[in-house]
Structure 1
Amino acid sequence: MSLFLSIAVLASTPQDLQRNEQPVEAARPQMTLNFTTFDQLADSLSSRVQTGTLLFSKGDCLAVRIFTQSPYTHVAMIVMRNGEPVVYDSMNGTGARCLTLKNYLNTQRPATIHVFQPRSVFSEDMTEEYERLLDQKLGTPYSIKHHLTGKRTNGIHCAEYAIDALSACDLMQAKSPPKVSPASLVKGIVQARRYVPAITFELEKPPAVAEKPRNWCHQLWIDTKNCTSACCVKLRGWVLCQ
């Protein structure tokens, strides 16, 4: 079965995001593009991003969704390098990392991705400071506990990583970076009129590889294995935010 993916280019006016409100997004998309493969979507998105583009995910992590009362669960930052986009983020179990856009999107499946674009193109100086901070933090372990206290630790979470990079290039500031969440970051960048919502698209989970059963007993084993695996993946997303 082919993988159906869609991109909607948004045309809404930025609005403030309050707690318990829906994410900033368009009521009516200007156009919708349908893709039959994941690679087609990733390749198309590569031509629509720039240094400073932010990718906000709406995933399964219950801890983030409940605490922030928002569907936003993750944020990542894009840098254009040699004409190709690379993505920086901090992920539970991995820490601060840098991936190709295609590899990053693959780690987020399934999820809804909201793309926010900077209102102005980053200058050379801004880009240099932005990249320097992102590169300096690579390898930093992931940590979320200090989000409650607001005090720095030797770890970093995704929204903290993002606001640190935006602060480094003098685009945004935060009184307490560890307390910034994906939801509050969206609110801040829109209220400050630094970013606008651009694209929203759905990432479906990778299609399962069909295994041909040898007999009814083998079919029962395949069904049990697939069901257990799906439950474990879902539980990992809810509890471990992975």
Structure 2
Amino acid sequence: MNSTLIALVIATAPADSATEVIVNSPEDAVCQISAASQTGTLLFSQGDCLAVRAYTNSSYTHVATIVYCNDGTPIVYDSMNGSGVRKMSLSQYLTDQSPDEVQLFHPKRPFSEKEIQCYRDHLESQLGRPYSVKQHITGQRVSGLHCAEYVTDALVEIDWLKVKNAPRVSPASLVEGITTHQVYRTGPVVEIPVMLEPISEPQGRCARMWHDTKECTSRFCQQMSRWVLCR
């Protein structure tokens, strides 16, 4: 395990095994995750970012967290390349992440009211900060935050984790820390299908060729962006 992260809250129950949930649309994924999650639930993406996969030797490339509003609406907080620290609805987050696999991890016990308030306050206080990963290599704090650093800091704020160097925590080492010390229980893996907009069939051979070329180029650029830019 990454030596920079030590669990502070210890539970005695054994670690759970992950189950896979098959959904037919992003809307179904929202329903499944909303029904299973709570404030403090972590969403680990098993995405395409080659840089993170190679550097951490793990399929986990991103992490976000859920906080429920007083009216029961789930809000997702994360720090994303190209966007920085942000919050959005669960529906918008999953649409942005598709196609992807999201692994859920749930707190071993529900957060107390005091913990919920402190957790939310810390997440809100960081909104708007830029995204950065150079501190993961140097171990020195900078003006930006990466995703695992952001979530780890929030858990430290409510005394669920004790961390020696949060900038060095990766999504993979965060998973290892919270499961090894049984702070979190393993939830399901939800595969988020791609959301395609209906497109009218182009008329004529040239129009179809031009349409197919644009579609192929667009998908290639999107995939390259996910591989290289991690977004």
Normalised by the size of structure 1, how large is the TM-score?
A: 0.86
Moved more, 200-209 or 113-122: 200-209
How many residues matched?
Answer: 217
Matched, 1:196 2:205: no
Number of the residue aligned with 2:50: 62
Matched, 1:114 2:103: yes
Match of 2:34 among 26, 33, 46: 46
Could you tell me which amino acid in structure 1 is paired with residue 104 of structure 2? V
Could you tell me which amino acid in structure 2 is paired with residue 172 of structure 1? L
SS of the residue corresponding to residue 128 of structure 2 reads coil
Higher normalized contact order (CA 8 Å, seq sep 6+, divided by chain length) = 2
Whole-angstrom CA distance in 1 between matches of 2:34 and 2:75: 9
Could you tell me which amino acid in structure 2 is paired with residue 101 of structure 1? L
Matched, 1:162 2:151: yes
How high is the sequence identity, in percent, across the aligned residues?
Answer: 45
Residue 212 (structure 1) shift: 1.2
1:39-75 CA distance string (max 9 Å, x none):
1321232121101100000001111000000000000
Summarize the alignment of residues 229-240 of structure 1 with structure 2, pairs less than 5 Å apart: 229-240=218-229
Could you tell me which amino acid in structure 1 is paired with residue 53 of structure 2? R
Could you tell me which amino acid in structure 2 is paired with residue 138 of structure 1? L
**What residue ranges of structure 1 are gaps of 5+ in the alignment?**
1-12, 16-24
Moved more, 213-222 or 42-51: 42-51
Number of the residue aligned with 1:143: 132
Summarize the alignment of residues 180-191 of structure 1 with structure 2, pairs less than 5 Å apart: 180-191=169-180
Residue 208 (structure 1) shift: 4.8
Normalised by the size of structure 2, how large is the TM-score?
A: 0.90
Residue 144 (structure 1) shift: 0.5
Whole-angstrom CA distance in 2 between matches of 1:197 and 1:157: 23
**What residue ranges of structure 2 are gaps of 5+ in the alignment?**
1-13
Q: Is the 8 A contact 2:101 2:190 kept in 1?
A: yes
Q: Is the 8 A contact 1:56 1:73 kept in 2?
A: yes
Q: Is the 8 A contact 1:211 1:222 kept in 2?
A: no
1:64-119 CA distance string (max 9 Å, x none):
00000000000001111021110000000111001111111111111110000000
Match of 2:62 among 68, 74, 97: 74
Number of the residue aligned with 2:5: none
Residue 195 (structure 1) shift: 0.3
Number of the residue aligned with 1:225: 214
Whole-angstrom CA distance in 1 between matches of 2:227 and 2:190: 21
Q: Is the 8 A contact 2:21 2:189 kept in 1?
A: no
Moved more, 33-42 or 172-181: 33-42
